[in-house]
A = this chain, B = another copy of it.
């Protein structure tokens, strides 16, 4: 791992030498945004959607980088080529910059890191969730604020769960790093439409409504979950993960549901097409 490179602003730096001054507003005040995408066989997946969200987050937080999306992409491809890791996660972070008074932003620091990841194609092992009353501040922005998520790790363990699911007064939003879906008894796929970070896998799932899936964006209550037929979460690294238990209550018959499986298959087709496109092979659907 020590031989990997990272980017700090315009420089490639060995990962074990990547440091920033402690006056950075991320350290002083937790001020920063990021995005995260994967590479499969060295090819970025849904890169344009991640880049677009990165600049949207930065814009909302008034962090402006002098790098254009094209220049950023060029830098990303250079880093990926330099590191030579096929399957990986790439994180692009933009911080509040070196602050003179510890409270004002300045020129943001751009940090790009890459780490090897092992991906399992297709559907993942099922999960148990535990709910917790919390609403992320600025939910539609991918900020570096994961204070509650990290703090809740022992809570998740104590509740014999794999991940936490946030709700506010019984209305469910999301997991710290994943979007949440249920499938109702009349086979409607439902996911929250507000107070969430709109994930890239989530938005690609929404597109599958053109393939005959009945998908709705609307509020989900805790009660909706307990009565659901199936449930799953989505994330960049894991695609679709079936959820078989929430708050100790079994969802459906406690196995991977039929519609979840069908969606996962459809998503895999979409993902393979995306990877093929990134590799430069023309494909038609």
The interface of chain A, by Cβ under 8 A from chain B, is 6, 8, 18-32, 61-62, 91, 93, 95-96, 102-105, 111, 113, 115, 134, 137-138, 143-151, 153-154
Q: CA–CA, A95 to B22, complex, Å?
A: 11
Partner of A111 from the list B27, B31, B95 (CB cut-off 8 Å) is B27
Residue from the list B24, B62, B102, B151 in contact with A27, Cβ < 8 A? B24
> How many copies are assembled?
2
- Known contacts A96-B150, A143-B147, A150-B103; decide if A8 and B30 are in contact (CB<8 Å): no
Residues of B near A138 (CB, < 8 A) are 147-148, 151
Secondary structure at chain A's binding surface: helix, strand, loop or mixed? mixed
Q: How far is the CB of A24 from chain B (nearest CB, A)?
A: 7
Q: Tell me how far the C-beta of A234 lies from the nearest C-beta in chain B, rounded to whole angstroms.
A: 18
In whole angstroms, what is the CA distance A105 to B20 when docked? Answer: 19
> Known contacts A8-B22, A18-B21, A22-B8: does B93 contact A27 (CB below 8 Å)?
yes
Tell whether, in the assembled complex, residue B145 and residue A30 are in contact, meaning their CB atoms are under 8 Å apart: yes
Report if A147-B22 is in contact (Cβ < 8 Å); known contacts: A102-B91, A137-B137, A154-B62: no
A173 to chain B, nearest CB (A): 14
A134-B137, A137-B147, A146-B31 given; A21·B22 CB < 8 A: no
A62-B154, A137-B147, A138-B147 given; A30·B21 CB < 8 A: no
Given A24-B27, A30-B30, 10 further pairs, Cβ under 8 A? A6-B22, A22-B111, A22-B113, A27-B93, A27-B111, A27-B144, A29-B149, A104-B153, A137-B137, A145-B147
Q: Which has the most chain B C-beta neighbours within 10 Å: A8, A148, A149, A151?
A: A151
Across-interface contacts of A151 in B (CB, < 8 A): 61-62, 138
Chain B residues in 8 Å Cβ range of A29: 144-147, 149-150
CB neighbours (8 Å) of A18 from chain B are: 21-23
Minimum Cβ distance to chain B for residue A59 (Å): 12
A144 near B95 (CB under 8 angstroms)? no
Q: Is the CB of A26 within 8 A of B26?
A: yes
Q: Which residues of B contact A20 (CB under 8 A)?
A: 19-20, 22, 27
